[in-house]
Chains A and B, each alone.
Chain A
Amino acid sequence: MNRRRWMAGALATLGAAALSACGQTTSPVIMQALRMAEGLTRRAQRLLVPREALAPEYDASEISADFRANGSIDPAASDYVSLRDAGFVDYRLIIDGMVARPLSLSLDDLRARPSRTQITKHDCVEGWTSIGQWTGVRLETLLEEAGLNPEARYIVFYCFDALTQTEDGPRYYESIDLIDARHPQTILAYDMNGEVLAVPHGAPLRLRVERQLGYKQAKYIRRIEAVADFSHIEGGNGGYWEDQGYDWYAGI
């Protein structure tokens, strides 16, 4: 009988959780419980997938002719617009935070460094996939140059674009851990499909972090900061979409 009562209790608990799914939004307590699964997924993938394991690369014949541009496609911020109108000649990528030697690099500086080209798939959180060829400088190369402090744990990317298309709207940002930052395929891309990166796809510089979903691939990057944690930045969840409730670990 005890076993029956235990089973009934377990089923009642699950039923209550399932019932709470029947709302427009989920209660914060249930959401907190569900969030534990994200940590489980991240740990399981980090355990199973070797640090250097590469995302699949594709043949040039498989490149999408209709690569979808999503999110911001033409940032309206005045600082971006003036850089864009001048052909990004005055653009400088800032790398600072917990580094020994902060950097300020022009596009020519970035192009002068060793490059990596890869044809990879871009998996949007919505479910679609496009395949593109990306050329850029490995993030690890730049982090080596800047000299990461030992207490740095995350790399944060600050972008020009605000999805509100207003001057004071929240600017897009993203963050990744050092495992992904040092991954061989993690690059700051300035070329796409053999041509200079176009505005809809993030000109002049976008992130490619190939083992995660599309919203981690920050476009229109203006600054990179090494931090120990990101709880003090914007909504504190490590990214624009993360602040809207999406998982920080977007490997699934």
Chain B
Amino acid sequence: MTDQMADEPTVAIPMTSGSAGHHPDRPLPGGRVDTWRHPVAVRITHWLNVTAVVVLIMSGLNILLAHPHLYWGVRSTFADPWLSFGQIPDWLLIPQGRNLAEARRWHFAFAWLFVLNGLAYLIFAWLSGRFRHRLWPTKGDISGFWPSVVEHARFYFPKDDEARTYNVIQKLTYLVMVLVVLPMMLVTGLSMSPGFNAIGGLLLDLMGGRQSARTLHFISAALIIGFIVIHVGLVIWTGFFNNMRAMITGWFVIEPADPAKGDPL
């Protein structure tokens, strides 16, 4: 993808750690700048993960309906569940209607996609330095945590060079998702497997027993659903087309902080 850039005139634009050196900025009219944001490995693993997570949630809801009660501990206390669910509309289920046998097949097939794809992402993010450079908060990020919370609460989103890097809330959210919540789905899921329990007894005890593992599986899934709602909401709010283009082509347009400041081309 760099070859098509060869004939472009070089424009002096400050480079920050946010953009990769071999994907120089492309200046656009009105002071806007096209910057390189997502490498192809991130884009592919992102969309595979979207597919896997959506199928896992919808088939998971179908599986939940087979016994829509949650408990804490090693066994079910049928007379005294911690939480019970009522009806879930068919359109939220895979397949579209209660069917435990088929839902399980969908769930475990896409669980393999989720795990292998997630592993590929983690290895890439580690080896490429993406964790260190893009996701790990800097000292400045940490001290600016509360001001950033206030900015978000006011629905102010960074522009210009500030938009080249993730802000501290983004960094922490993404890190917690990829290092804690998503792996938690696998750990709690495996802890429900009687086959895996034969070697994962310690993990099962750590979860507090099989029914706790099942409850934690649903709590983690609820956290993922919460993340999806906020994430998709912000993707739409902060420029749906630009954000989608970035996650499909890799290129992200940065608006100047003040349009008057931009150099007309």
- Do the two chains bind? yes
**Residues of A participating in the B interface, judged by any CB pair closer than 8 Å:** 3-4, 7, 10-11, 14-15, 18, 21-26, 31, 33-38, 40-41, 45, 48-50, 53-56, 58, 62, 64, 66, 68, 121, 123-131, 210-213, 241, 244-247, 250-252
User: Would B96 and A22 count as touching, CB distance under 8 A?
Assistant: yes
Q: Which of B5-13, B30-38, B193-201, B230-238 contacts A (4 or more CB under 8 A)?
A: B193-201
Q: Per DSSP, are chain A's interface residues mostly helix, strand or loop, or mixed?
A: loop
Are B67 and A127 in contact (CB-based, < 8 A)? yes
Tell me if B221 counts as interface (CB < 8 A to partner A): no
When A and B form their complex, which 10 residue pairs have the shortest distance between CB atoms, in order from nearest?
A251-B195, A245-B101, A37-B109, A126-B67, A53-B198, A127-B67, A128-B76, A126-B66, A252-B193, A21-B94
| Residues of chain B with a CB closer than 8 A to A53's CB | 198-199
Assess the A130–B76 pair: CB atoms within 8 A.
yes
Contact present for A31 and B102 (CB under 8 Å): yes
One digit per residue, 1 when the CB lies within 8 angstroms of any chain A CB and 0 when it does not, for chain B 193-227 equals 11111110100100001110010000000000000
Cβ contact within 8 Å between B95 and A131: no
Please state if B195 and A212 are interface contacts (CB–CB under 8 Å): yes
Name the interface size band of chain B: 35 or more
Q: Which of B171-211 contact A (CB under 8 A)?
A: 192-199, 201, 204, 209-211
When A45-B195, A48-B199, A128-B76 are in contact, do A34 and B63 touch as well, CB less than 8 Å?
no
Asked if A131 contacts B75 (CB within 8 A), the reply is yes
Contacts of A128 in B (CB 8 A): 67, 69, 71, 76, 78, 211
Say what secondary structure dominates the interface of chain B.
helix
Query: Is B102's CB under 8 angstroms from A45's CB?
Result: no
Bound complex: CA of A87 vs CA of B106, how far in Å? 45
Which residues of B are found within 8 Å of A127, using beta-carbon distances? 63-64, 66-67, 214
CB of B112 within 8 Å of the partner chain = yes
Pick 8 A–B contacts, CB within 8 A, sort by A.
A11-B47, A24-B96, A25-B99, A26-B105, A26-B106, A126-B100, A210-B194, A244-B101
